[in-house]
Each structure stands twice: as C-alpha cells, then as structure tokens.
Amino acid sequence: MPAAISLKECRALAFDALSHAGVSHANAEAVADHITRAEADGCKSHGLFRLPGYVASVNSGAADPQAEPEIVDAAPGLVAVDARRGFAPLAIARGRGALADKAHEQGIACMTIRNSFNFAALWPDIEPLAEAGLVAFTFVNSQSFMAPAGGTEALFGTNPMAFACPRGGGRAPMVFDQASAAMARGEIQIAARDGHTVPAGTGLGSDGQPTTDPAAILAGVQLPFGGYKGSSIALMVELMTGGLSGGFFGYESAADHKRDGGPSNGAQSFIAIDPGRLAGPEFFAHVEALFERLLANGEARLPGDRRLAARARTAEEGITVEDALYTTLQGLAGRV
Ligand code: NDP
C-alpha cells in the first residue's frame, strides 16, 4: 500500500534525509526542492526514488555534502561555475541569476557547470529562466551508460537536454526535457524493480545482444533513441557539457565513479536568449499561433502538458510513495 503524503511533507522528508547524512543546509534545501518539483510534476524516476542515491554518494565520500559552488564571471556573456564536487541543484541555483542578468543585458548568455553531481530532471533548471522571459536550453552528461549507434561499449551518458520557451498571458512556459537514451535509466531501474520488460531498442545485454530484460540492460549498455540521430545528440551533449565546461566526459565520469549507486561527477551547460531583442514584442503572439495550430492537429499536444496537469493535481491531492521506498526514506531521515 503506497504512502500518501503532501508536497510539504515530501520536501521535509527529503531535507531531513539529506541533513541526517551530513548535507549542508543550503545543499539539502536545493536538492529537496528539486526532488519535490519532480514529484509534483509526476516524475517518479527523479523524485524521492533518487534520495537514497544522493545519500549513498555522501556516505561513499564521492560527493562533498558541504560544497560551496564557485561562480566565475568569465566574460560579459559567460558564467563558469565549479560545483566543487557538490550536488548540481545548489550550483545551478547560485549561478542562474547571473546567467539571466547577462542574457537580459547582452541578449544571450551561456553558463557552464563542472564538478557537479547531477541526479535530477532538467526542466526545473530552465523553467525559471523562461518565467523570466528567456528562451533557454540546458544539457547534462553523466557517467557513461550508453553505446554510440553501432557500438556495444558504454561511451556516452544518457545525456538529457531540455528546452524552454516563455509564453505570454501568464501561461506556464513550454518546456521539453528528454534523455538521448531510448529510455531514461531511472525508468529502466523502476522496470527492473517492478518486474516489467522494456521495449526492444532500449539496450543491449553484457553479451552485446539486444534484450528487453531491464536487469540485463543495467548490466550491459543502453542505446540512444532514433539510432544515429540520437547518438549525434548525445555526442553534442558531451561536447556542450564536459567539453565546454572543462569537466568530465561520460567515460571520464565513469572512471571517477565510486559504484555507490549515487550520481556521478558530470557537467552541465545553459544557453539563455532574450527573444524580444531579436523578434521584438510580437514573439509571444507569434509562438502562440504555432502552439494553437499544433494543438488543433489531431491528437497532438505540447510537451510538458502532462507535467503541468500533474502539477495541478498534486498541489491538491499530494503524492504517493511506494511502501518500501517510504520505509527506507523514513530510516534515512532518522525517523525510525
Ligand atoms: P520522456 O520520454 O518521458 O519525455 C520527454 C519529453 O517529451 C517530455 O518533455 C514530455 O513531456 C514530452 N512528451 C512525451 N510524450 C509526448 C507527446 N505524446 N507529445 C508531446 N510531447 C511529449 O522523458 P525521458 O524518459 O527521455 O527523460 C525522463 C527524465 O529523465 C527527464 O526529466 C530527464 O532530464 C531525466 N534524465 C536525467 C539524467 C541525469 O543525468 N540527470 C539522465 C537522463 C535523463 P511530458 O513530461 O509533458 O510528458
């Protein structure tokens, strides 16, 4: 029987579990906020499910629970952040204001983050930029779990990217957020936990052969979505993250990883653009016209609409947490 809890309780549980593990107040708040946003938007694979992994990375000594990110004003349009082996949410929260200011001042700005332990979904990272009127991209790499198209050995992380577009009229921004892998690793882990198979094309077993067994894929390699096209996007994400930031590529991150079940030392980058400086004030009406046509087109929907519907629902109803996970989290929070 799953436990039913409010979002406030979710945030408190996450904060307490992290604090109990020795995570600093600022880091625990930032990670708890990220986890709660994932749960609020119905993203179970990046919500409370990830909390034991964050704690494991502290216990193994991989992540620094007291890390204070270093923010460098690298150029008029550039922010360079070194997370100093801390969790990504605090590094992002600390750097994002400077990124937005520079994008408003210059019309465009870029921020890189290296040495950051990222275990999260990406839309919460850029939704605030779009709420501030900016078009935004973000890219993240992780330790290598995925073979390039045609390969059988892990080289790339599952390498998600997200894109956000502001909307007028008080509407929530349109944000899509997707892995370069055919299936996000968290989803494969949940399928393995729940005894389900995964679709063909998700990955290869350690023998290099295609399989639909999630446990075999977790021991083998994942595959990119869409063959060589997804593989090129994963390659771009490596270059935009480990490359641009001077941090780790996926395979370097894997070599650094302590096999503790937690996040890896990866990298991230952001690009933020002020659309008004290019398209003028007509930008908002123009994009709405495109969205209206899309929505009038058969069963098409905007990316992010499922999340926003979940957000409206969980604000009223709260969330459910799988029973065994809830017991684990209570233990981590020192409540049993
Ligand atoms: P999904 O395939 O579930 O969704 C990808 C995007 O497509 C979402 O924006 C989703 O919107 C949208 N979408 C889904 N169905 C439709 C549809 N029918 N029409 C229009 N849009 C649609 O995500 P992934 O499995 O690829 O990734 C899951 C999460 O895992 C992401 O948040 C990602 O950031 C995270 N991740 C994190 C990693 C890390 O290292 N930190 C590594 C890899 C993944 P909607 O949400 O509204 O359905």
| Inter-residue contact 14 to 32 (CB < 8 Å) | yes
How far apart are the CA of 175 and the centre of ligand 1, in A? Answer: 10
Give pLDDT, residue 184: 86
187 counts as catalytic = yes
Three-class secondary structure of residue 199 per DSSP: coil
**What is the DSSP secondary-structure string of 128-150?**
HHHHTT-EEEEEE--S--BPPTT
Name residues of the chain where pLDDT drops below 70.
none
The residue whose two tokens read 């993203």 is: 43
In terms of phi and psi (left: phi > 0; alpha: psi -120 to 50; beta: otherwise), the region of 22 is left
> CB of 177 closer than 6 A to ligand 1?
yes
Among residues 29, 34, 39, 46, the one annotated as catalytic is 46
> CB of 53 closer than 6 A to ligand 1?
no
Q: Tell me the backbone φ, ψ of residue 137, rounded to 5 degrees.
A: -120, 150
> CB of 304 closer than 6 A to ligand 1?
yes
Three-class secondary structure of residue 88 per DSSP: helix
How many angstroms separate the CA atoms of 131 and 129, rounded? 5
| Inter-residue contact 253 to 140 (CB < 8 Å) | no
Beta-strand pair 174-178/265-273:
unpaired
| Inter-residue contact 135 to 273 (CB < 8 Å) | yes
104 counts as catalytic = no
Give pLDDT, residue 1: 82
- Partners of 73 in the beta sheet? 79
Among residues 9, 45, 288, 322, the one annotated as catalytic is 45
How far apart are the CA of 74 and the centre of ligand 1, in A? Answer: 32
* Amino acid residing at 102: K
How far apart are the CA of 38 and the centre of ligand 1, in A? Answer: 12
39 counts as catalytic = no
| Inter-residue contact 35 to 314 (CB < 8 Å) | no
* Amino acid residing at 289: A
Q: Which residues contact 17 (CB under 8 A, 6 or more apart)?
A: 51, 55, 329, 332, 333
Query: What is the number of the ligand 1 atom nearest to the C-alpha of 181?
Result: 26
> CB of 179 closer than 6 A to ligand 1?
yes
pLDDT digits (tens, 9 = 90+) for 263-282: 999 999 999 999 999 999 99
CA-based radius of gyration for the chain: 20
Which of 42, 13, 57, 19 shows the shortest CA–CA distance to 317? 42
Query: What is the number of the ligand 1 atom nearest to the C-alpha of 309?
Result: 47
How many angstroms separate the CA atoms of 280 and 332, rounded? 51
Query: What is the number of the ligand 1 atom nearest to the C-alpha of 300?
Result: 19
Give pLDDT, residue 194: 92
How many angstroms separate the CA atoms of 142 and 146, rounded? 10
| Inter-residue contact 141 to 116 (CB < 8 Å) | no
Q: Report the predicted TM-score, pTM, of the whole model to 2 decimal places.
A: 0.96
Query: What is the number of the ligand 1 atom nearest to the C-alpha of 142?
Result: 40
Give pLDDT, residue 107: 98
Q: What is the DSSP letter of 48?
A: G
Question: Tokens for 200?
Answer: 């063909």
Q: Which residues contact 244 (CB under 8 A, 6 or more apart)?
A: 110, 112, 267, 269
How far apart are the CA of 43 and the centre of ligand 1, in A? Answer: 9
pLDDT digits (tens, 9 = 90+) for 187-226: 899 899 999 999 999 999 999 999 999 999 999 999 999 9
3-state helix, strand, coil in the chain (%, to 5): 45, 20, 35
The residue whose C-alpha atom lies closest to atom 45 belonging to ligand 1 is 304
